[in-house]
Structure 1
């Protein structure tokens, strides 16, 4: 549990319109074989241990950067629908809830939004880095969907 400090909570918000239907974008997240390909910023790969996409389910995986440094990740799914996924990041170094929405846009497009709500006391100096990393993640998702 995060200790309460004078550092306020903060959010990181990324949005992108993708030229794919909400069902296609949701499927790229729902299918662990696809997700493993595109999840994470540029230069990262993933090794999934558990991906149980249901309310109360866990997602346990390791992200590996270009220098082979490993980052074990634990998430728990709070809400799962084709329109929205909410998950809790369960680790002391980053205390946040992430909401992913898949909203229909014009002409079979999707407005994909990621909101990372950080608990008070977290290092808000990460916000700029995380915003850029999420944009790289969107780039990887878009490239993956274009390759299908």
Structure 2
């Protein structure tokens, strides 16, 4: 299944079903060694500085674009319900709360359905970011699918 990505009001919503059990998908999303391999659009790599997946925990990482540009990222976890849900604010060190994210991990038999809802401060901001984020999220979820297929 391809990822279904939609822009609805202030939200970008991504849904994808993975042919992998929920625990495996959860680990790929929350283990710094694994997430460093697949996170981000095609051509991107990551350096994980810290990743503490717990309420109040921080995930700081640098995404390295294929053109050599570095993108600092800062995530603060608000809610962590293993292996069902992650809720966090995502931004960078200067502005750590640029948008709010809820990721649900749902069992569908032996498969796992991911629903990722990213909420922005306004519809205008969501529309502007969607210009690149929709394709970026499709590619990111595609990379996760490829990663899981190798496990």
Is the 1:78–1:87 contact (alpha carbons within 8 Å) kept by the matching residues of 2? yes
TM-score by structure 2 length?
Answer: 0.86
Residues matched between the structures, number: 139
Change (3 A) 1:47 1:19: same
Is the 1:76–1:89 contact (alpha carbons within 8 Å) kept by the matching residues of 2? yes
Deviation, structure 1 residue 36: 0.4
C-alpha separation in 1, matches of 2:138 and 2:86: 18
Change (3 A) 1:85 1:123: closer
Is the 1:11–1:127 contact (alpha carbons within 8 Å) kept by the matching residues of 2? no
Q: Would you identify which runs of 4 or more consecutive aligned residues in structure 1 move more than 3 Å?
A: 90-94
TM-score by structure 1 length?
Answer: 0.88
Larger Rg over CA atoms: 1
Structure 1 residues 122-133: aligned runs within 5 Å: 122=125, 124-133=127-136
C-alpha separation in 2, matches of 1:131 and 1:119: 17
5+ long unaligned stretches in structure 1: 1-8
